[in-house]
Amino acid sequence: MGEALSGVKVLDFTDEIAGSYCTKLLADFGAEVIKIEALNGSDLRSKRPFLKDEIHPEKSGAFFYLNTNKKSITLNLKNPKGVEICKKLVKNSDVLVEDFAPGAMDKLGCSYEALKGLNDRLIMTSITWFGQDGPYKDYRATNLIAEGLSGAMFTARQTRWPKDMPSVLGGHQAEYRSGLVASTAIIASLLSRAMTDKGTWIDLSILECVASTLAGIAADYSYMGFSRTTVPWGIHGFPTQENHPCKDGWINNLPGIGAVPDIADLIEKPELKEDPLFSKPGARLAEPEKFEALFIPYFKEHKKWEVMKKAQKMRLAFSPTLSPGELLEDEQLKAREAFNKVEHPVLGEVTYFGAPAKLSETPGKKGRSPLLGEHNDVVYKSMGYTEQELTILKEQRII
């Protein structure tokens, strides 16, 4: 049996993280994803980090991760002949994913309505920061802007200082979340098409994807009239949900309702159970730094996994905070075979996180990212182009 999405053909016209992650997930689960790149390559090929910090289109770690298991062809959409080839590709494809600015596909003559006329089973997905309409639709944005406008950043504050300034969230989580939502919407549309034999246009806004995943914060305000500024662990009488230093790194902890006195046993000072800072929620909420000063010295004398394993036996929710390097060596992830190792012609052996879900009957693919235009001959010849025609198209800088 093949992979779950075997037989699904996807055209990937994406240059940003959200769209590329969406199509990466489809590819990892077996879809044939053809990444259509400009003649000089996707913008992601210029995104850091680079192997040995050498700027090179085949050495971008970001491009590699976001394009595993895909094919790459080059196509000049600024040339009318390139647009014609695009339309030929659409005729025999199931899904098209693009992340151009609103209206850009329309200007190319490749709006959903135009492509629907060529293939009414096509599922077209347009991923933009704010959607295809509305007053923000033509604004440009970044992950930072999406996190701020969505309300996510407003809640990202240190627990003990809820009135402090909002914190910047790490990484590109707005885009990755949106890529995940986009892949889900595509799979839902494939299921719908199986019943109706009709395609659809998915208009996906990154802003809306992030705002919709805020754990009911909008509902809190709608029904109760307040804005949550942190995860309110303080109502359980524990003032922090933060990282604390250990001998070899960091550990985060949340003992649970009523279990704070057990920390005294964890740090081998049972006499502290009677201390108001351990026995009275109000006391430690009023003086969190004084409370922490009682257990942090113990943490600093012990390794994080030692503390975590001891805490787990006491049913205390303590967990090490792992660095990326430690993540690669984590025994749980290794036991689950979460990482794939592949050989890349330029990068050499690369380890990356595989498909994020395990399907018992249809496991995901384990493949590398493509070289720029690596599959030009294979894809274009499958469309009927001859070697001579391809040579002419290359000379004319169409492919």
| Residue 329 CB coordination number (10 Å) | 10
DSSP H helical segments within 67-213, as ranges?
80-91, 104-107, 112-118, 143-149, 173-196, 206-211
Note the pLDDT of residue 220. Answer: 58
95 vs 125: CA distance, rounded Å: 8
**Strand-pair category, 123-128 with 200-205:** parallel
Q: Where are the alpha helices (DSSP H) in the chain?
A: 17-28, 61-66, 80-91, 104-107, 112-118, 143-149, 173-196, 206-211, 217-224, 262-266, 276-279, 281-286, 288-300, 304-313, 324-328, 331-335, 376-382, 387-395
Alpha carbon 51 to its chain centroid, in Å, reads 22
Distance (Å, whole) CA 256 – CA 212: 27
Full set of structural domains in the chain with CATH: 9-213+333-395 (3.40.50.10540), 233-321 (3.30.1540.10)
The per-residue pLDDT for 160 is 60
Can you say how many angstroms the Cα of residue 82 is from the centroid of all Cα atoms in its chain? 31
Length of the chain: 399
Instruction: Supply the pLDDT for residue 233.
Output: 47
Along the 399 residues of the chain, how does pLDDT read in single tens digits?
A: 679 999 999 999 999 999 999 999 999 999 999 999 999 999 999 999 999 999 999 999 999 999 999 999 999 999 999 999 999 999 999 999 999 999 999 999 999 999 999 999 999 999 999 999 999 999 999 998 998 888 877 776 665 665 666 667 778 999 999 999 999 999 999 999 999 999 999 999 999 999 888 766 666 555 555 555 554 445 456 666 678 999 999 998 877 667 788 999 999 999 999 999 988 888 887 888 898 899 999 999 999 999 999 999 998 888 999 998 899 999 999 999 999 999 999 999 999 999 889 999 998 899 999 999 999 999 999 999 999 999 999 999 999
246: amino acid identity, one letter:
C
Place of tokens 């599959």: 375
Q: In this predicted structure, what is the pLDDT of residue 67?
A: 98
CA-to-CA distance for 58 and 63, rounded, in angstroms?
A: 8
